[in-house]
Amino acid sequence: MSLQLTGIHHLTAITANAPGNLHFYTKVLGLRLVKKTVNQDDTSAYHLFYADGEATPGTDLTFFDWPVGRERRGTHSIVRTSLRVGSQESLAWWKQHLTDEGLATGEIGDIGGYASLDFEDPEGQRLRLVSDGGKGGSHPWAQSPVPAEHQIRGLGPIVISVPDITNT
């Protein structure tokens, strides 16, 4: 029996500022807060779940609320988390929206044949919006401050850094 991998189910990261994280991912990025619970292994920490309008597998971005310092960039870490949007026009909308929110962005560019836009969340989490050309399903969230045609559609490629790729 072979296992068919069809994508990433979810990605979990860390925030040291749960209220700020909630504001950014729901009010700025327009994701739906699907669930707020506690970490099962550390009940003193929140576990925040964000996703599309239907909490579709492959759209979940979750955060543990732990009091940690800013990321020290290097190996053994996630370098960039990609989030899919439907079109290059959406990337232009996002560039303006993020700029209006006071965030610095890169230029819209091409990564591996896909139009993309790099930026960071307020805690330094490196993010990339990637146009998927409208492929696959889309489940907009009706209460999102982001127009349905520009909403985040799910997770895209996740870039990690390792010191030796041989065993990866």
Kindly give the confidence (pLDDT) of every residue in the chain, 168 residues in length, as a single tens digit, with 9 standing for 90 and above.
666 767 777 788 889 999 999 999 999 999 999 999 887 888 888 899 999 999 998 899 999 998 877 666 666 777 789 999 999 999 999 999 999 999 999 999 999 999 999 999 999 999 999 999 998 788 999 999 999 999 999 999 887 788 887 876
Strand order in the sheet with 32-38: 10-15, 60-65, 46-51, 32-38
Domain assignment present for residue 129? The answer is yes
Q: Which two tokens stand for residue 36?
A: 């707020």
Q: Does 5 reside within a domain?
A: no
pLDDT recorded at residue 1 = 62
The CATH number that applies at residue 143 is: 3.10.180.10
| pLDDT in the model for residue 163 | 82
Q: Is residue 17 part of a domain?
A: yes
Is residue 3 assigned to a domain? no
The domain containing residue 125 runs over which residues?
10-167
Give the whole-angstrom CA distance, residue 151 versus residue 53.
10
Q: Is 91 within 8 Å of 129 (Cβ atoms)?
A: yes
In a domain, 122, yes or no: yes
Task: Specify the number of domains making up the chain.
Answer: 1
Query: Would 105 be classed as within a structural domain?
Result: yes
Q: Is residue 29 part of a domain?
A: yes
Task: State the pTM of this model.
Answer: 0.89
In a domain, 112, yes or no: yes
pLDDT value, residue 48: 96
